[in-house]
C-alpha cells in the first residue's frame, strides 16, 4: 500500500489514512491534550507524510512508526507556536457511544484525566506509554521504533508509569482509576 | 493504583477514535493537497535526479581540478594549482624527488614565459620557483656535516681575493696556486675555460640535482651580515637568509648552469638597503659562493 502511494496512487494513500488515522490521533491527543489540537495535528501529520512519502524507505519498521516520528516533530513545532489548553468541549466530546450515560460520563472524565496527565509527561515517557499500552506494541518493537534496546524500553516504561501515577495523584484524579484494579480489571 | 491498573486504564484509551466529522475534514484537506501535489510532478520531472546531481558535482570537481592542475602562471587558477601541488607534497613517498620535479617544472615554465615576454606571469612562476626552493630546503635531509672542514680554508681564501674567487675557480686548490707562478697558470686555465662550456652543455644532462651552496656575506668593512635575504631575483622573495654571515642552503641546478644569487639587507636605522650579488656555475653537488660583499648602491 505504501509503495502504491509512493507510485502516486491516491486511493492507496487514502487507505493508509483510514488505517492509521486513529493511532495517530491518539498519539496527537496524548501530546496536545486537546481534541481540536489533535485533529489539526493529524491533518498536519498526514500532509507532512504526503510530502515525505518519496523519501520513505521500508527498513522493517511499521509505517505507523514513520507517522509517529512525523507526529512527534509536528507536535513539537506546534507546541512552540501555541500552548495547549483544555476545553470543556474536550470533556464532553466522547467518541465512544454508551447507553449508560453515567458510565459514559465517568469514562470520559477518566480518559480526559489520563490524557491530561500524559500531556504533562516528558515526550519519551509519553511515547513509550502510548506505544506499549495504547497501541499495544511489544517492548522489542517499541525499541526498534525508538532506537532503544528492549531492556531500555522496559526501564523507560516503568519510570513513565511511575511518573504518570504521580501526575494523576497531583491532579487528584488517581481515585478515578481505582476500578481498574478491581472489577474492571477482571473484565 | 499500581502499574497494572494504570496500564489497563491506558489500554482503554485504545477505544478512542478520531471523530468522523474531523476525519472527513482532514480527508478533504488531504485530497486537495494530493491534487496539488499531482500538478507538481511536471516541475519535478524537470528536476535533476539525485544520482545525476551527484554525477554532475563529481564531474565539475574533476574538471575544475584538472583545469587547475594544468593552469599556467598566466592563469588566475595558478595560485590554486601551486597550493594543490604544494599540498600534495605531504602525500608523496619521496618528497625530495617530488619537490625537485616541481622545481624543474616551475623553473622551465618561468623560463618559457620570460622567453615569450610575459613578465607578469614569469614573475609569478619565479615566485613559485623560489617557494619551491624554500620548501626543498625545509624538507631536504641535512647530512652535510663535512662542511666544517672546508670552511676554514674558504674563510682564508676570500680574504685575499674576495670578488674573483667565486667566478674563477670552483675549488679552493687553484686559488692557492694561482698567485704563485704566472707561467704555468695559462696552461691549466684554458682547459676548464674552453672544455667546460663545450663538454658540459652539449652532453645535455637536463636532470637537476641538489646542490649544497655555501658562502659568506659581509658588509664593506668585512663584518659578517646576519639575517640578509638571499634570493634568485633582484627583489624576489628570500630563498634563505644568512646566519652570522654564512649562507648555507640547498638549491637545484644542472651541471654547467649559471646561477646568480642576490643578497640584500635592509638597514632599519637608515632605511637604506645594502645589496650584493654573485654569479657562479654549477659544477657539482657543492657550490662555493665565496664572499659576497653588500653595500648601499
DSSP state of B272: -
Task: Report the C-alpha gap between A47 and A62 in whole angstroms.
Answer: 19
User: What is the mean predicted confidence (pLDDT) over B263-272?
Assistant: 86
Question: What is the predicted pLDDT for the residue at B60?
Answer: 93
Beta sheet of B240-241, edge-to-edge order: B240-241, B229-231, B258-266, B273-281, B286-296, B209-219, B246-253
Residue A111: partners with Cβ closer than 8 Å, 6 or more residues away: A94, B12, B13, B16
Whether B53 contacts chain A with CB within 8 A: no
Q: Which residues of A touch B39 (CB under 8 A)?
A: none
- Note whether B26 contacts A43, CB cutoff 8 Å: yes
Q: Which residues of B touch A14 (CB under 8 A)?
A: 27, 30-31
Q: How far is CA B56 from CA A55, B62, B70, in A?
A: 21, 10, 21
At A169, list the grid cell.
495523584
pTM of the model: 0.43
Asked if residue A166 has pLDDT above 70, the reply is yes
**Three-state helix/strand/coil letters over B163-208:** CCHHHHCCCHHHHHHCCCCCCCCCCCCHHHHHHHHHHHCCCCCCCC
Question: What is the predicted pLDDT for the residue at A186?
Answer: 44
Question: What is the predicted pLDDT for the residue at A152?
Answer: 92
Whether A135 contacts chain B with CB within 8 A: yes
Assembly ipTM: 0.71
The partner residue sitting opposite A93, judged by closest CB among B12, B19, B30, is B19
The alpha helices in chain B, defined as continuous H runs, are 3-12, 20-39, 41-46, 50-69, 78-88, 95-116, 119-139, 150-160, 165-168, 172-177, 190-195
Task: Report the C-alpha gap between B106 and B213 in whole angstroms.
Answer: 20
Question: What is the predicted pLDDT for the residue at A82?
Answer: 62
Question: What is the predicted pLDDT for the residue at B59?
Answer: 92
DSSP state of B239: S
Which residue do the cell numbers 497531583 mark?
A170
Element (H, E) at A90: helix A88-92
Amino acid at each position: 500500500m505504501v509503495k502504491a502511494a509512493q507510485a502516486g496512487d491516491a486511493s492507496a494513500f487514502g487507505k493508509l489514512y483510514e488505517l492509521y488515522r486513529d493511532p495517530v490521533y491518539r498519539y496527537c491527543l496524548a501530546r496536545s491534550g486537546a481534541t481540536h489540537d489533535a485533529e489539526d495535528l493529524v491533518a498536519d501529520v498526514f500532509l507532512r507524510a504526503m510530502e515525505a512519502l518519496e523519501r520513505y524507505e521500508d527498513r522493517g519498521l511499521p509505517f505507523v512508526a514513520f507517522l509517529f516520528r512525523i507526529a512527534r516533530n509536528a507536535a513539537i513545532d506546534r507546541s512552540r507556536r501555541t500552548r495547549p489548553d483544555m476545553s470543556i468541549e474536550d470533556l464532553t466530546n466522547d467518541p465512544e457511544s454508551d447507553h449508560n450515560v453515567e458510565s459514559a460520563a465517568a469514562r470520559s472524565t477518566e480518559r480526559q484525566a489520563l490524557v491530561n496527565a500524559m500531556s504533562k509527561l516528558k515526550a519519551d515517557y509519553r511515547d513509550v506509554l502510548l506505544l506499549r499500552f495504547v497501541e499495544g506494541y511489544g517492548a522489542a518493537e517499541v525499541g526498534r521504533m525508538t532506537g532503544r534496546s528492549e531492556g531500555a524500553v522496559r526501564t523507560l516504561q516503568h519510570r513513565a508509569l511511575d511518573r504518570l501515577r504521580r501526575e494523576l495523584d497531583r491532579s487528584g484524579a488517581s481515585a478515578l482509576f481505582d476500578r481498574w484494579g478491581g472489577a474492571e480489571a477482571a473484565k | 493504583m499500581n502499574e497494572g491498573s494504570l496500564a489497563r486504564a491506558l489500554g482503554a484509551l485504545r477505544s478512542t477514535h478520531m471523530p468522523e466529522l474531523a476525519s472527513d475534514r482532514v480527508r478533504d484537506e488531504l485530497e486537495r493537497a494530493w491534487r496539488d501535489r499531482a500538478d507538481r510532478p511536471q516541475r519535478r520531472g524537470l528536476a535533476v535526479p539525485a544520482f545525476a546531481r551527484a554525477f554532475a558535482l563529481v564531474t565539475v570537481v574533476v574538471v575544475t581540478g584538472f583545469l587547475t592542475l594544468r593552469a599556467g602562471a598566466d592563469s588566475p587558477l595558478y595560485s590554486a594549482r601551486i597550493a594543490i601541488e604544494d599540498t600534495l607534497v605531504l602525500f608523496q613517498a619521496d618528497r625530495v624527488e617530488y619537490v625537485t620535479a616541481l622545481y624543474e617544472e616551475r623553473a622551465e615554465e618561468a623560463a618559457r614565459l620570460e622567453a615569450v615576454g610575459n613578465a607578469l606571469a614569469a614573475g609569478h612562476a619565479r615566485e613559485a620557483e623560489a617557494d619551491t626552493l624554500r620548501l626543498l630546503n625545509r624538507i631536504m635531509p641535512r647530512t652535510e656535516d663535512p662542511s666544517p672542514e672546508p670552511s676554514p680554508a674558504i674563510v682564508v681564501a676570500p680574504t685575499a681575493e674576495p670578488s674573483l674567487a667565486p667566478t674563477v675557480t670552483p675549488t679552493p686548490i687553484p686559488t692557492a696556486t694561482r698567485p704563485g707562478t704566472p707561467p704555468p697558470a695559462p696552461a691549466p686555465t684554458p682547459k676548464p675555460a674552453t672544455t667546460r662550456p663545450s663538454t658540459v652543455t652539449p652532453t645535455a644532462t637536463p636532470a637537476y640535482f641538489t646542490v649544497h651552496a655555501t658562502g659568506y656575506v659581509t658588509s664593506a668593512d668585512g663584518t659578517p651580515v646576519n639575517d640578509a635575504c638571499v634570493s634568485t631575483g633582484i627583489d624576489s622573495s628570500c630563498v634563505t637568509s644568512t646566519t652570522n654571515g654564512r649562507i648555507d642552503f640547498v638549491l637545484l641546478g644542472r651541471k654547467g648552469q649559471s646561477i646568480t644569487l642576490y643578497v640584500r639587507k635592509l638597514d632599519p636605522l637608515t632605511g637604506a638597503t645594502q645589496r650584493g650579488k654573485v654569479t657562479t656555475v654549477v659544477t657539482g653537488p657543492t657550490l662555493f659562493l665565496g664572499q659576497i660583499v653588500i653595500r648601499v648602491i
